[in-house]
């Protein structure tokens, strides 16, 4: 089955991506969400994880060491369901299996979802990765609320070599194009969480990146997909969705492999 999507900028070349087993067949009821992102939890996994919880200065975090120590690490930023959501840890472990030490910090610091003014937490995580994990090359991936954080980090921290923002709301600001390093933006065409005006901002982002951005970027929208499809949707829930889910995850890994 061919996968149709709208894409700007060229696709990455192939790489030796490696993925863990398919997601367990588990589904939970819709959740009543808190602002700022009212979205259902989708398919919550029964997944124990391959990493361990650690204390990183003032925050807790879930860390998975790569089977191969290549001096590379990826920060994985949670959606509004928090750092302990099994789905997010599954994605972190998937990335770790491709050669990266991964860390899922509690960016909410035990509180409710809030505006992503996260520089203090990012600074702490970067220190931990460099000092405790000996990471020399660092990237970042985020989902929903975490996608907003990725966009912020990629405009603020030149030392973060690559970013992947997955269905993150775009802020209406003049400097949205001011990326320091290569960034991939993934969106779902039928994303009910993102308001109509958001698509105007996505269009504006694309135009501003095209006109002003000095680093590699890609903005990619997956046809027919809904919010959370990359990390909160089982591959087996619909045969028609499986190619989109797999392609998005493959794109994520390829982007990291190419730019970190």
Q: Looking at the annotation, which residues are catalytic?
A: 144, 191, 227
CA dist 255 and 12 (Å) reads 7
CB 233, CB 241: distance < 8 Å: yes
Helix (H, G, I), strand (E, B) or coil at 189: coil
Q: Are strands 59-64 and 5-8 parallel, antiparallel or unpaired?
A: unpaired
Q: Maximum distance among all alpha carbons in the chain?
A: 48
Query: Residue 71: beta bridge partners?
Result: none
CA dist 146 and 164 (Å) reads 10
Listed residue (202, 194, 238) closest to 220, CA to CA: 202
In 78-213, which ranges are E strands? 101-105, 137-143, 160-166, 183-188
What is the sign of the dihedral through the CA atoms of 244, 230, 160 and 145?
Answer: positive
CB 102, CB 51: distance < 8 Å: yes
CA R_g for the chain: 17
Would you give the distance in Å from CA 40 to the centre of its chain? 17
């Amino acid at each position: 089955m061919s996968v149709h999507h709208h894409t700007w900028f060229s696709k990455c070349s192939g790489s030796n991506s490696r993925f863990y087993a398919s997601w367990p067949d588990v589904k939970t009821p819709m959740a009543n969400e808190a602002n700022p992102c009212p979205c259902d939890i989708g398919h919550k996994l029964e997944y124990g994880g391959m990493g361990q919880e650690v204390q990183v200065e003032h925050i807790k975090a879930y860390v998975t060491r790569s089977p191969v120590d290549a001096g590379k690490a990826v920060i994985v930023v949670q959606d509004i369901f928090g750092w302990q959501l099994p789905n997010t840890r599954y994605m972190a472990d998937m990335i770790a299996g491709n050669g990266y030490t991964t860390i899922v910090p509690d960016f909410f610091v035990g509180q409710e979802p809030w505006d992503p003014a996260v520089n203090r937490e990012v600074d702490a995580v970067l220190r931990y990765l460099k000092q405790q994990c000996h990471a020399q090359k660092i990237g970042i991936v985020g989902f929903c609320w975490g996608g907003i954080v990725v966009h912020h980090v990629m405009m603020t921290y030149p030392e973060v070599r690559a970013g992947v923002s997955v269905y993150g709301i775009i802020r209406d600001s003049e400097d949205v194009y001011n990326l320091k390093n290569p960034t991939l933006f993934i969106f779902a065409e039928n994303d009910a969480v993102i308001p109509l005006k958001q698509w105007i901002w996505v269009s504006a982002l694309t135009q501003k990146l095209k006109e002003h951005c000095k680093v590699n970027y890609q903005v990619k929208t997956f046809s027919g997909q809904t919010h959370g499809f990359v990390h909160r949707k089982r591959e087996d829930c619909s045969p028609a969705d499986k190619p989109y889910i797999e392609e998005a995850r493959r794109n994520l890994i390829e982007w990291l492999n190419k730019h970190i």
